[in-house]
Each structure stands twice: as structure tokens, then as C-alpha cells.
Amino acid sequence: MIKNDKFNISGPVLFFDGECGLCHRFVLWLLRRDSRGVLRFAPLQGEVAQSYLRAHALPTEDFDSLVFVPDWAGRERREFLLRTDGALAAARVVGGLGAVVAWVQVFPQAWRDGIYRVIARSRYRIWGEWTPRPFARPEWAARFLN
């Protein structure tokens, strides 16, 4: 069973590489734009994400891809988006500039995911590993699943 049920969480969840500097910057970008506070986050290396990945026969060691779950309450269903589809869906959820950025979806998925994979291979060299630090807003910490 996936933990954090005690928080009665619903809505979308984004799993991301918890050690990647670029991934954390994307998460912070989403947090700043999510004025409604609907999007939740969890590192792919964490217990919640690993449990979800196993339950849906997704790779548990592939941290090059983010996973977007549109409805955490319905997580037993096999509904998730990977790579650019997931990133753009998360951007659309936060609205505002995020919804504007989601126009990139007009390009074919193969092109978008090809670029995503190139960036994923070099993300640690360019952006480095993430150094944990306090959030700009303390309430953001509550949006992360363990």
C-alpha cells in the first residue's frame, strides 16, 4: 500500500529525480506558479514513488523520466504520463504561464521526447546534483509526499 493516505491527498502528483538540479528547478518553477496549490510532488527515489512505479510495472531505477499522475485518488488505475507529456501536463495544471508553456505539445511527441532524452543525459553535467535547502515558502514542504 502507498503511504500518505492519511493525508487524504487527491489531485495530480509529479514524480521527479530527487537528486537532479534541473528537476528541482522545474519543481520550484511549478511551485511558484501553482497559486491554487493543487500539484503534489515526490522524488522518484522515495518510497511513495517507488511503490507507485512497482504497482504499475514501471522501471524503478530509471530516474531519467518524470512521471505525472493526473489523479492521485485514482492512482490504482493505470493513468500516468511520462517525459514531456508529463512535464507539459504538470505545467498545464498550474495554469498561467504554465498553460502558455504547454503549447509545446503541438510538436510531435517523438521530437519532444528526443530532446528530453538528450537533456536528461547531460542534466547532471550542466545543472549538477541538487543540494537540499529550505523552501522559499515553508508551506511548500507540505506539498511533497514521502
> What are 63-76's pLDDT values in tens digits?
878 999 998 887 66
Question: Does residue 31 surpass a pLDDT of 90?
Answer: yes
- What pLDDT is recorded for position 97? 75
Q: Which helix (H) or strand (E) holds 84?
A: helix 83-94
Q: Residue 50: is its pLDDT beyond 80?
A: yes
- The CATH number for 110's domain is 3.40.30
The burial of 6, by beta-carbon neighbours within 10 Å (0-12 exposed, 13-18 middle, 19 or more buried), is given as exposed
Ranking 39-43, 53-57, 128-132 by mean pLDDT, the lowest is 128-132
Average predicted confidence (pLDDT) for the chain: 84
pLDDT of residue 7: 47
pTM of the model: 0.85
Lowest mean pLDDT among 15-24, 42-51, 104-113: 104-113
pLDDT of residue 136: 78
Angle at 119 between CA 33 and CA 109, to 5 degrees: 75
What's the rounded mean pLDDT across residues 99-120?
83
Residue 94 contacts by C-beta under 8 Å, 6 or more apart in sequence?
A: 30, 33, 34, 35, 36, 38, 39
21 and 63 Cβ atoms separated by less than 8 Å: no
The mean pLDDT of 45-72, rounded to a whole number, is 90
Residue span of the structural domain in which 81 resides: 5-143
Residues 6 or more apart in contact with residue 54 via CB below 8 angstroms: 60
- How far apart, in whole angstroms, are the C-alpha atoms of residue 23 and residue 124? 10
Q: Please give the tally of structural domains in the chain.
A: 1
Average of pLDDT values for 56-85?
86
